[in-house]
Amino acid sequence: MSQATDPATLEQILAAAADAAGTAAAATPVQRAAWLNAAADALDAAADELVALANQETHLPVAPRLQGELKRTTFQLRLFGEVLADGSFLGATVDHADAAWPMGPRPDIRRLLTPIGPVLVFAASNFPFAFSVAGGDTASALAAGCPVVLKAHSGHPELSARTGEILREALIKAGAPEGIFAVVYGQQNGVTALKDPRIQAASFTGSVPGGRALFDIATSRPSPIPFYGELGSVNPVVVTQSAIDARGEAIAKAYAGSFTLGAGQFCTKPGLLFLPEGHGLEDTLREAVSTIPAQPMLNERIAAGFADGLAKLSDVDGVEVLSESGGAEGISHGATLLATTAKAFLSDADTVREECFGPASLIVTYTDQAELVSLLGVMEPGLTATIQGEESDVDWIRPVLPSLTRVAGRLLWNDWPTGVTVSWAQEHGGPYPATTAPTSTSVGTAAIERFLRPIAWQGFPDALLPEPLQENNPWDLPRRTDGKR
């Protein structure tokens, strides 16, 4: 299954997706929810088989990691079923004709979000379930009513094939059209599909170079399409002196656990720790990191990339290794914690501010609030920014917040960014290079909005309107009517 999809099969898949688009878009929210719930049930039933395959191909531990990730995957499929039942995702809005409208007589206008069409999803390497074949991008696109062409990641081809078989069979058995979902293999086939005019949107989770190359293709097509890429992030953590005084040891241990979780192969891994000068946590941090064993990384390519990035970071003037553990053997690496000063951080234009994908993190010390703001001011945007502080820090932190909101899509107070729950309020995005679309999210119920586009219907007879906009509201949706909910 790791062989590239042949051109004839790729054409059949793209044609089938285009043929299925109308049927998928016309399906009611209740019907689509049934598709998603059936898919979740089928994946849960095959959990033992799928988790074993994932473990074999990715080296990630069965428990709790892979078992938990599969549960997350099926949970989010069912959660999008709840989104469909709620109905507000359609944004149904009705403005009746109004001869007395202050802008002049207003015609009858009705607005609704509608499926954008076939979606191309590029699977990720580091989350073989949650950001892969049946992951959040696939779930949200299917919920929106869009057929999905899934480009499998080369890091787990057998898992991708089996997951795809189970997902496709469950969807079609539940009533979805034949072309609703298919998996394709091969890097060039991903590019070919991205250029195909039948694909109307694409999503990606991976590296900055890879994501940017695909983004450029998507936006330079004769008919450009939305490209939702989640790329790189360093995820800074700011710690105040008050927090250190109150719970410094706990912060140090939790930070070590967070940046090494999953061998540091999380897009939300905290890569920078801003500590006040004279923080006194050196020994605690050294001890916390030294006890962390070496962990296998996803594959040789990622392990080699981490080793190269760590070597470059260690060679920067002013950067020293504070603690390391486990060494390196094959694709396994121990943890490395480095440290530098504000002056060195500000003087280096690139290396100390870039993501080092793996179990490494960098401490940067600051003298005062002004210097901290300067440090944050030169950072590239990312997915998250964290504050470890006390209630007494509120006035001290307030002037720092604009710098943090500039660089992150999710702000955390006394928590750690490596936990990304799937919920209604979640935001997993940020300004470039965190993502190519900073107004969107790839996690949480709002992810469905990426694969919908608005259409306004002006002056149409009721019988020709989409059901959600008809006067008697046959789907009983929440709507805004004449400006009122």
| pLDDT at residue 419 in the model | 87
| pLDDT at residue 328 in the model | 86
Residues 43-86: tens digit of each pLDDT: 999 999 999 999 999 999 999 999 999 999 999 999 999 999 99
The reply to whether 166 and 110 lie within a common domain is yes
The reply to whether 243 and 291 lie within a common domain is yes
Given a cut of 70, whether residue 474 has pLDDT beyond it is: yes
Catalytic residue among 57, 69, 230, 427: 230
Question: How much is the average pLDDT of 86-102?
Answer: 97
320 is catalytic: no
- pLDDT higher for 49 or 477? 49
Q: Distance (Å, rounded) from C-alpha 230 to C-alpha 124? A: 10
Q: Does any domain span residue 56?
A: yes
Give 230's DSSP letter.
Answer: E
The reply to whether 21 and 34 lie within a common domain is yes
pLDDT band at 96, cuts 50/70/90?
very high
> Residue 163: which residues within 8 A CB-CB, separation 6 or more?
43, 50, 129, 132, 133, 134
Question: How much is the average pLDDT of 359-368?
Answer: 96
Specify whether the CB–CB gap between 183 and 133 falls below 8 A.
Answer: yes
Given a cut of 90, whether residue 249 has pLDDT beyond it is: yes
The reply to whether 227 and 241 lie within a common domain is no
Q: Distance (Å, rounded) from C-alpha 215 to C-alpha 209? A: 10
Whichever domain contains 448, its CATH number is: 3.40.605.10
pLDDT band at 2, cuts 50/70/90?
low
The reply to whether 369 and 450 lie within a common domain is no
380 is catalytic: no
> Residue 462: which residues within 8 A CB-CB, separation 6 or more?
470, 471
Question: How much is the average pLDDT of 240-250?
Answer: 98
Given a cut of 70, whether residue 92 has pLDDT beyond it is: yes
CA distances from 19 to 7, 24, 178, 198, 414 (A): 18, 9, 9, 10, 49
| β-bridge mates for residue 151, sequence order | 122, 184
Catalytic residue among 69, 146, 267, 324: 267
Sign of CA dihedral 404, 410, 412, 417: negative
The reply to whether 176 and 268 lie within a common domain is no
Question: How much is the average pLDDT of 11-22?
Answer: 98
The reply to whether 241 and 388 lie within a common domain is yes
Given a cut of 90, whether residue 285 has pLDDT beyond it is: yes
What the block records as the tokens of 220 is 């330079």
Q: Does any domain span residue 134?
A: yes
- Number of Cβ within a 10 Å radius of residue 156: 27
Question: How much is the average pLDDT of 232-249?
Answer: 97
CA distances from 168 to 44, 150, 444 (A): 14, 11, 23
Q: Does any domain span residue 161?
A: yes
How many angstroms from the chain centroid is the CA of residue 93?
29
Our count of domains for the chain comes to 2
Residues 326-337: tens digit of each pLDDT: 888 899 999 999
Please report, in angstroms and rounded to a whole number, the separation of the first and last CA atoms in the chain: 51
How much of the chain is helix, strand and coil, in % rounded to 5? 45, 20, 35
Q: Does any domain span residue 50?
A: yes
- Out of 382, 413, 444, a domain closes at 413
Q: Does any domain span residue 464?
A: yes
The reply to whether 367 and 275 lie within a common domain is yes
The reply to whether 341 and 267 lie within a common domain is yes
Helix (H) or strand (E) holding 192: helix 187-195
The reply to whether 147 and 296 lie within a common domain is no
pLDDT band at 347, cuts 50/70/90?
confident
Q: Does any domain span residue 333?
A: yes
One-character DSSP codes across 315-347: TSTT-EEEEE-S-EETTEE--EEEEEEHHHHHH
Kindly tell me the burial class for residue 366, based on how many C-beta atoms sit within 10 Å of its own C-beta (0-12, 13-18, 19 or more): buried
The reply to whether 158 and 265 lie within a common domain is no
What is the pTM (predicted TM-score) of this model?
A: 0.95
* Structural domain for 456, as ranges: 7-231+435-471
Q: Does any domain span residue 298?
A: yes
CA-atom Rg of the chain in angstroms: 24
Residues 450-461: tens digit of each pLDDT: 999 999 999 999
Given a cut of 60, whether residue 1 has pLDDT beyond it is: no
Q: Does any domain span residue 397?
A: yes
Give 295's DSSP letter.
Answer: E
The reply to whether 160 and 195 lie within a common domain is yes
Question: What SS3 state is found at 111?
Answer: strand
Specify whether the CB–CB gap between 57 and 159 falls below 8 A.
Answer: yes
Q: Distance (Å, rounded) from C-alpha 382 to C-alpha 404? A: 10
CA nearest to 451, candidates 173, 90, 190, 70: 90
Whichever domain contains 331, its CATH number is: 3.40.309.10
